[in-house]
């Protein structure tokens, strides 16, 4: 396993983790942009633009992109979050140059008006699809409540109104500002030659002109809000809880991921025993999500409406007990083993390493092999987990509920 990195003159960063014993390779272009970088009048533009990237360039028609990916048997996708947009694919080693040719070409899109008009309808379908997914609706609303007034509170999906009103000119303007080469990192992992990887990207991308890209990073809010969304069409009650957590740049992120696993992993956690094992809720899970100079712990609970209030109270009570008493040594060691084992298994696939290697660089300008991450995790002490739990109080969250209940 060997790490390499270099930078083109226009600022495009290229990094790679080379593993000659892998059977495949994966590559991705990580663009440091998402809904937090939008203004309210273009809400949803990052995600809509991600779709438009598949609609062709000066060299390729919309259908060419899809055909070329499929012709090399690529396992490919693209995804947008609040702060990143990633275009990625995994292929057999013989196709790595062709994969780069498609990915790099996509990133200089034609943004043709008729394609824009057609794809807008696909985005409107996607919005309708998420309206039928209560868990997504809770997450979306929880982020907007917790981060009210902060860029991270801006919806990735946007609304029917914002997407309906978006023009291709606004999208082009957003693209010009955000898809600057110095805001993009090309990442390769698995079985490939880094020298050839770099020269291919250089050929394809050296003419990209840098723009002055910046991101507003106001301090995250730490208010506590409550929002009850009544939807009588729903049978079940979904509840989301959110508090602040360590940022992606904070070394306490290892302790934070352990705290989340101890509090609310799928198996053997405090919430599992307090809520799922006795079937008070069928889902009760805590997740830690580190972001750019911000972070959150989020808790998802799904229950019968008649049990929802009880479930929330039990969860808050469990969080309070964990905060005052701390985890046991057994709990800490089980959480470490679960996370380390999961990371090791995921790390056996190039596709599994791609995000880890990419985000290490995006957030921290660092490379750490998987074994290094596991060492950091295993070195966390009980006191360090306690420090995180004391600073970030899981029992005092912002809460959003969605379902038939009028109050909770």
Partner 1 sequence: MAFWLEIRTIAGLSETDSEINLAEKFHTKTFANGLTLLAQEMDNVGSAAMTFQSPAGASHDPDAIAGAGYVAYEWFFRGAGAMDSRALNGALDGLGCQHHEYVTSSHVVFGASQLGRNLAAVLKIYADILRRPRLEDANFGPCRELAVQDLRNLQDEPASRCNMLLREKFYPQPLGRCVYGSEQSLAAMTPERLREHIGGRFGPAGAVLAVAGNINWDSLAGLVGDLLGDWPAQKQTSPVKPVQAGGVLHVPKDSAQMHIGLAHKAVPFADKRSYAARLAQTVLSGGMSSRLFTEVREKRALVYQVGCSYNSLKNHAGMLTYAGTRPELAQQTLDVTVGELRRLADGIEPQEMDRAKVQLRSSLVMHGESTSARAGALASDWHHLGRLRGLDEILGEVRKVTIDDVISYLRQFPAEGLTMVVIGPRELDASILGGRR
| Interaction residues for partner 1, span 195-254 (CB under 8 A) | 233-236, 240
**276 is a site residue for partner 1 (CB under 8 A):** yes
Residue 194 Cβ, how far from partner 1 at the closest point, in Å?
20
| Strand ranges across the sheet with 294-303 | 226-230, 398-403, 237-244, 294-303, 283-291
Give CA–CA dist 157/77, Å, rounded.
17
Rounded to 5 degrees, φ, ψ at 84 are -140, 150
Q: Which stretch binds partner 1 (CB under 8 A): 10-18, 198-206, 348-356, 357-365?
A: 348-356
Residue 351 contacts partner 1 per CB under 8 A: yes
Query: What would the two tokens of residue 396 be?
Result: 């005092």
- Identify whether the C-beta of residue 263 lies closer than 8 Å to the C-beta of residue 286: yes
Residue placing its CB nearer to partner 1 in the complex, 198 or 291: 291
Return the range that interacts with partner 1 (CB under 8 A); candidates 198-206, 219-227, 278-286, 386-394: 278-286
379 is a contact residue toward partner 1 (CB under 8 A)? no
Q: Closest distance between partner 1 and the C-beta of residue 212, in Å? A: 27
Distance between CA atoms of residues 123 and 104, nearest Å: 23
Of 22 and 259, CB closest to partner 1: 22
CB 275 within 8 A of CB 315: yes
Choose, by CB under 8 A, the member of 177, 338, 364, 382 that binds partner 1: 338
**Among positions 39, 59, 75, 306, the unique one binding partner 1 when judged by CB under 8 A:** 75
What DSSP string runs through 315-341? HHHHHHHHHHH---HHHHHHHHHHHHH
Task: Find, among 269, 255, 394, 375, the residue nearest to 320 by Cα.
Answer: 394
Dihedral of alpha carbons 377, 382, 384, 390, sign: positive
Q: Does 118 bind partner 1 (CB under 8 A)?
A: yes
Does residue number 139 form part of the binding site for partner 1 (CB under 8 A)? yes
63 binds partner 1 (CB under 8 A): yes
Q: Does the footprint of partner 1 cover residue 376 (CB under 8 A)?
A: no
Which of 4, 126, 182, 193 forms a contact with partner 1 (CB under 8 A)?
Answer: 126
Q: Which of residues 33-62 bind partner 1 (CB under 8 A)?
A: 47, 50-51, 54, 62
């Amino acid at each position: 396993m060997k790490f390499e990195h270099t930078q083109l003159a226009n600022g495009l960063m290229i990094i790679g983790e080379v593993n000659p014993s892998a059977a495949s390779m994966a590559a991705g272009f990580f663009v440091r942009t998402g809904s937090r970088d939008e203004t309210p009048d273009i809400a949803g533009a990052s995600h809509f633009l991600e779709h438009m990237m598949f609609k062709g360039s000066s060299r390729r028609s919309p259908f060419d992109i899809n055909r070329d990916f499929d012709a090399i048997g690529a396992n490919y996708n693209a995804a947008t979050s609040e702060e990143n947009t990633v275009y990625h694919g995994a292929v057999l080693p013989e196709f790595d140059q062709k994969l780069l040719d498609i990915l790099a070409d996509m990133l200089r899109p034609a943004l043709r008006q008729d394609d824009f008009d057609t794809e807008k309808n696909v985005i409107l379908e996607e919005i309708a699809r998420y309206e039928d997914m209560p868990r997504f609706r809770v997450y979306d609303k929880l982020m907007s409540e917790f981060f009210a007034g902060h860029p991270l509170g801006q919806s990735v999906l946007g609304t029917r109104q914002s997407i309906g009103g978006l023009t291709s000119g606004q999208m082009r303007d957003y693209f010009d500002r955000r898809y600057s080469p110095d805001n993009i990192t090309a990442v390769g992992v698995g079985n490939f030659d880094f020298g050839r990887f770099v020269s291919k990207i250089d050929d394809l991308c050296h003419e990209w002109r840098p723009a002055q890209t910046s991101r507003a990073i106001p301090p995250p809010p730490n208010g506590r809000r409550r929002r009850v969304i009544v939807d009588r069409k729903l049978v079940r009650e979904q509840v989301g809880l959110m508090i602040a957590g360590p940022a992606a740049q904070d070394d306490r992120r290892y302790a934070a991921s352990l705290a989340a696993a101890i509090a609310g992993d799928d198996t053997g956690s405090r919430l599992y025993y307090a809520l799922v094992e006795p079937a008070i809720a069928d889902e009760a899970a805590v997740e830690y999500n580190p972001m750019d100079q911000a972070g959150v712990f989020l808790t998802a609970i799904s229950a019968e409406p008649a049990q929802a209030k009880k479930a929330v109270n039990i969860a808050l009570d469990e969080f309070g007990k964990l905060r005052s008493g701390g985890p046991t040594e057994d709990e800490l060691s089980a959480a470490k083993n679960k996370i380390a084992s999961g990371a090791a298994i995921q790390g056996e696939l190039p596709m599994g390493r791609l995000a880890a290697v990419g985000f290490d660089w995006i957030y921290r300008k660092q490379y750490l092999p998987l074994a290094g991450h596991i060492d950091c995790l295993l070195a966390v002490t009980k006191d360090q987990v306690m420090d995180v739990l004391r600073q970030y109080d899981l029992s005092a969250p912002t809460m959003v509920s969605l379902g038939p209940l009028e109050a909770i």
